[in-house]
Amino acid sequence: MTNQSEETDDLTLISDKLIVQALMAPDKCPWTKGRKSSASASNSRTPRNKSLPPKKPKKKDATPRKVLPPKVTPSTSAVHEKIEHGEYSCLEDDGNPIALAVPERKELCVTLPPCAPFGDQSVDARSKVRKLLKLFQLICRKLMQAEEQQLRNFGRIDLEAIEVLKKYDGYSKPDAIVGDVPGVVVGDEFHFRVELSIVGLHRIYQGGIDSAIVDGTRIAISIVASGGYPDELSSSDELIYTGSGGKATGKKDAEDQKLKGGNLALKNCIKTKTPVRVIHGFKGQSRSEVGQSKSKQISTYTYDGLYVVVDCWQEGASGSMVFKYKLKRILGQPELALHIVKETRMSKVRKGLRCPDISLEKERIPICVINTIDDAQPTPFEYITKVIYPPSYAKEPPQGCDCTDGCSDSSRCACAVKNGGEIPFNFNGAIVHAKPLIYECGPSCRCPPTCHNRASQHGIKIPLEIFKTGETGWGVRSLSSISSGSFICEYAGLESSTSETMEESVGFTIDAAKCGNVGRFINHSCSPNLYAQNVLWDHDDKRMPHIMFFAAENIPPLQELTYHYNYTIGQVRDKNGVEKVKECLCGSADCCHRLY
DNA sequence: GAATATTCAGGATG
DNA sequence: CCATCCTGAATATT
């Protein structure tokens, strides 16, 4: 609908505010209020002190740069009002610090955002769920970071993280829910069983069948099928599930499964016609990145939707009988993206393929263009992978570190020190949390390219594709699942100064109308799944940091990638200073229907 | 030897 | 005390 290159007119940003998304939420970041020095912005290991008065952000110092979204702006609105109402806040700011109960001398402190959103009626269930999950994932990344710095060894990060989360105001034990859980949508992905429990999808940690008593009878409310038993996940909408207990789990003694507990509950569902939530677990989807350390086995749990139990019988030889259940998926629910991806991968020809690699091999992996809506092709542009700086501009050489130990000692690595004494990435490449500015190691550092403090400078690693959306023109998505914190891509384009001379210039913008990379196709959303992070690595000019997109949550395959353009209403004017209005079409629940 | 499969042990919840 | 469609680390196997 909107065409990028048509919108190349005079967008003028009258506000000098710079707003960038926090990893936690569409939030009010330090940028909004002026910048803190990156060193003081880090809260990763502040001493524990709950009564610490909230830090007042500095009014404003040097305003670096405005993020100019692609001039092709599809749809949008602004989160501005919410920011004004203080509904959101960012990790870097005045959160309530919660100390981890680390039974060793070294205490870890995770700063959590204020808990206003919880229990607030105005926040819909979906936002709550997403916030809780983001919070949990943030804690996990923090713990992982601590583990990697060898401050401490947690066996089970998931269990450790839930302990922290429990201390957070707004966390409560989930009630038993029959049917869909408000805020959870078919296709949602999780990485730990604990996460299923947090959102109330499946409350027990290990058991496969969660049940509740309704009207005096025990009925099943959710099941997890993750390969522990030989279930049959036949084709599409049917599932044969194996009961719990007996020998199947690898017991020493053969034993018949008993019709009690979960087994009975599941059988009762036939009579009561109770819908059962099905969560599908997949194992070993880990994809070892090139040059990365050993890839951990990663399990993914996908919410498959509601099923009804239609049949129940016993199977097997006497002495090792098991219960089997036949479940049918209730019609009218969205198809799992996973299945579509499977079909797509199976089929030889890709439907709607308009271009096998729009980057013309400039990226490490091809980025194809898919259009199953009409015949349109993207408007031609020059594909570049790196930002192009103004001709007159000579980049300041960065001051690197001289680490030879892989920058492992974050108190000695000069780059880590600039990041407030931490390497802001986990060893798997995920960003730990949003910061005003991140310093990656660069060309003048002595560390090798495999250093963990170089997460976003090696280009795109996740297979992305450009596709035609219904309403918003072109968009970007992936056939793979993306886990929270993953680096997606840079926003590349022509860097230009907003004032006459380079020297006096206060603001810079990136214009991707004529040349750019995939980043120029990423649409706006009021509840985005990516966020933009400022990063410096190949130069030290804070006025024009790289703008790097990271996943703010787990993103299922085929879901469109979006970030918040961060316009404010009234911000954009035409040549004559007249306010311009653009409708937001992002369609999210908290959309305010105006991009600017 | 490294990548993968199997087993073991520790653990939270009900 | 019991058991569980978990996890991560330790062994075993290709």
> How does the average pLDDT of chain A come out, rounded?
79
Q: Is the CB of A297 under 7 A from strand C?
A: yes
- Asked whether residue A260's C-beta has any atom of DNA/RNA strand C within 7 A, the reply is no
Distance in Å from C2's C1' to A259's CA comes to 17
**Distance from residue A241's CA to nucleotide B8's C1', rounded to whole Å:** 27
pLDDT tens digits, residue range A12-59?
222 222 223 333 333 333 332 222 232 233 333 222 232 223 333 333
Quick one: average pLDDT of A60-77?
A: 39
**Measured CA distances, A324 to A210, A257, A272, A329 (Å):** 16, 10, 18, 16
One-letter amino acid at A572 equals V
Per-residue pLDDT tens over the stretch A167-219: 887 788 999 999 999 999 999 999 999 999 999 999 999 999 999 999 999 99
* A227 C-beta less than 7 Å away from strand B: no
Decide: A190 and A300 in contact? Cβ < 8 Å: yes
Q: Distance, angstroms, CA A322 to C1' C2? A: 20
* Helix residue ranges per DSSP H, A2-156: 30-33, 38-41, 80-84, 125-148
Q: Quick check: A296 CB within 7 A of strand C?
A: yes
Task: For residue A294, say whether its CB is under 7 Å from any atom of strand B.
Answer: yes
In this complex, the answer to whether residue A284 has its CB under 7 A from any atom of chain B, a nucleic strand, is: yes
pLDDT interval class at A250 (50, 70, 90):
low
Residues 180-239 of A with CB under 7 A from strand C: 191-194, 204-209, 223-229, 231
Residues 142-181 of A with CB under 7 A from strand B: 155-156, 159, 162, 173
Strand C proximity: list residues 368-387 of A with CB under 7 Å: none
Query: To the nearest 5 percent, what fractions of chain A are helix, strand and coil?
Result: 15, 20, 65
What is the distance between the alpha carbons of residues A179 and A578, in angstroms, rounded to a whole number?
A: 51
Nucleotide C5 C1' to residue A229 CA (A)? 6
Lowest mean pLDDT among A91-100, A101-110, A323-332, A476-485: A91-100
The per-residue pLDDT for A295 is 59
**Which range is least confidently modeled, A65-74, A243-252, A269-278, A552-561?**
A65-74
Beta strand A368-370 with A515-516 is: unpaired
Task: Please tell me the predicted confidence (pLDDT) of residue A252.
Answer: 57
pLDDT value of residue A129: 94
The encoded tokens of residue A384 equal 């570049």
pLDDT at A77 > cutoff 90 = no
Nearest nucleotide (C1') to the CA of residue A197? B13
A528 touches strand C (CB under 7 A): no
Instruction: Identify the helix (H) or strand (E) that includes residue A272.
Output: helix A261-272
> In the prediction, which pLDDT does A255 show?
80
HSE, CB side, 13 Å, CA atoms: give it for residue A137. 28
Q: Protein footprint on strand B: which nucleotides are under 7 Å from a CB?
A: 3-5, 7, 10-14
Chain C nucleotides with an atom closer than 7 Å to a protein C-beta: 3-9
A224: the nucleotide nearest its CA (via C1') is C5
**Unique residue bearing structure tokens 């053969």:** A254
Distance (Å, whole) CA A286 – CA A264:
36
Tell me the CA–C1' distance in angstroms for A190 and B5: 24
C-beta of residue A531 within 8 angstroms of C-beta of residue A467? no
Estimate in Å the CA A156 to C1' C6 gap, whole number.
10
A288 touches strand B (CB under 7 A): yes
Nearest residue: Cα versus C1' of B7? A250
The whole-number average pLDDT for the span A502-523 is: 86
* Nucleotide closest in space to A281 (CA vs C1'): C5
Across A25-63, b (16+ Cβ under 10 Å) vs e yields: bbbbbbbbbbbbebeebbbbbeeeeeeeeeeebeeeeeb
Determine the pLDDT at residue A65: 55
Q: Which of A281-285, A317-321, A446-450 has the lowest mean pLDDT?
A: A281-285
Which nucleotide comes closest to A249 if you measure CA to C1'? C5
Which range of A166-170, A362-366, A410-414, A505-509 scores highest in mean pLDDT? It is: A362-366
C1’ C14 / CA A288, Å = 19
Grade residue A409 by pLDDT with cuts at 50, 70 and 90. confident
Helix (H) or strand (E) holding A195: helix A193-199
Tokens at residue A254, please? 């053969």
Query: pLDDT tens digits, residue range A343-379?
Result: 999 899 999 999 999 999 999 999 999 999 999 999 9
pLDDT-derived band at A288, boundaries 50, 70, 90:
very low
Q: Among A144, A150, A131, A126, which Cα is nearest to A88's? A: A131
Nearest nucleotide relative to A174: CA against C1': B13
DSSP readout, A420-446?
TSS--B-TTS-B-S--S-EE---TTSS
* pLDDT attached to residue A74: 28
Q: In terms of residues, how long is chain A?
A: 596
**Radius of gyration in angstroms for the set of CA atoms belonging to chain A, rounded to a whole number:** 25
When pLDDT is averaged across residues A382-400 and rounded to a whole number, the result is 88
Question: Are the C-beta atoms of A454 and A545 separated by less than 8 Å?
Answer: no
Q: Residue A588 pLDDT > 60, yes or no?
A: yes
Strand partners, A312: A325
Which of A135-139, A147-151, A347-351 is the least confident region? A147-151
Among A283-292, A310-319, A536-545, where is mean pLDDT lowest?
Answer: A283-292
Contact in structure between A413 and A401 (CB atoms under 8 Å) = yes
A502: amino acid identity, one letter: M
In the structure, what pLDDT confidence band is assigned to residue A154 with cuts at 50, 70 and 90?
Answer: confident
Q: How far is the CA of A51 from the C1' of C9 (A)?
A: 39
Which pLDDT score, from 0 to 100, does residue A406 have? 80
Q: Residues A314-332: what's their mean pLDDT? A: 91
> Per CA to C1' distance, which residue is closest to B14?
A204
The answer to whether the beta carbon of residue A241 comes closer than 7 angstroms to any atom of strand C is yes
Name which of A85, A82, A89 is nearest A54 in CA terms: A89
A203 contact to strand B (CB, 7 A limit): yes
Residue in A73, A71, A77 with CA at minimum distance from that of residue A527: A77
pLDDT on residue A508? 86
